[in-house]
């Protein structure tokens, strides 16, 4: 398994849900998962990662300028997202969550025993359900999978 470097790509949004404009808190690439700033800065998103606030959707345009506008596909939209590894495989009907590589996803395993450690390190719940099987990536470009965005409350393990 090779780690992914996020690259801009067409998320092929179906526009079956809302699209909202936010401000970029950091450089954002088209197709990346984005989250609110951890400090709760109004209307500001960053590429999703393990230490950010709530996931809001998938960027529909690249925005290299901090403070510049970025259109985000939100709940209900069908989009293609990049997985955190080039050989990730996930079947249709499975859930995904934010990956360790900023802006990417990994498969969410609902079995408590197997996902607890991953959940602790990712600090996120499921963000969408896959609609198709993933398509293998190449070199450092992650595999891609089509999802319906379904946000949920952020979940953390109990202490």
Lowest average pLDDT, out of 12-16, 41-45, 152-156, goes to 152-156
Residue 105: which of 117, 97, 95 has the closest Cα?
A: 97
Per-domain boundaries in the chain? 19-149
Q: What is the pTM of this model?
A: 0.86
Residue 8: pLDDT band (50, 70, 90) is confident
At 154 the pLDDT is 58
Supply the pLDDT for residue 4.
67
Token pair of 66 as six digits: 């901090």
How large is the average pLDDT for residues 80-88? Answer: 82
């Amino acid at each position: 398994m090779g780690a992914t470097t996020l690259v801009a790509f067409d998320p092929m949004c179906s526009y079956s849900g809302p699209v909202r404009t936010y401000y970029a808190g950091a450089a954002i690439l088209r197709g990346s998962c984005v989250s609110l700033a951890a400090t709760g800065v109004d209307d500001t998103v960053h590429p999703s990662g393990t230490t950010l606030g709530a996931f809001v959707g998938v960027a529909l345009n690249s925005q290299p300028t901090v403070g510049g506008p970025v259109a985000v596909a939100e709940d209900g939209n069908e989009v293609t997202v990049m997985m955190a590894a080039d050989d990730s495989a996930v079947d249709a009907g499975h859930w995904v969550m934010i990956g360790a590589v900023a802006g990417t996803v990994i498969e969410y395993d609902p079995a408590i025993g197997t996902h607890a450690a991953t959940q602790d390190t990712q600090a996120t719940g499921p963000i969408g359900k896959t609609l198709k099987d993933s398509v293998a990536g190449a070199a450092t470009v992650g595999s891609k999978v089509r999802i319906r965005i379904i946000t949920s409350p952020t979940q953390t393990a109990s202490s």
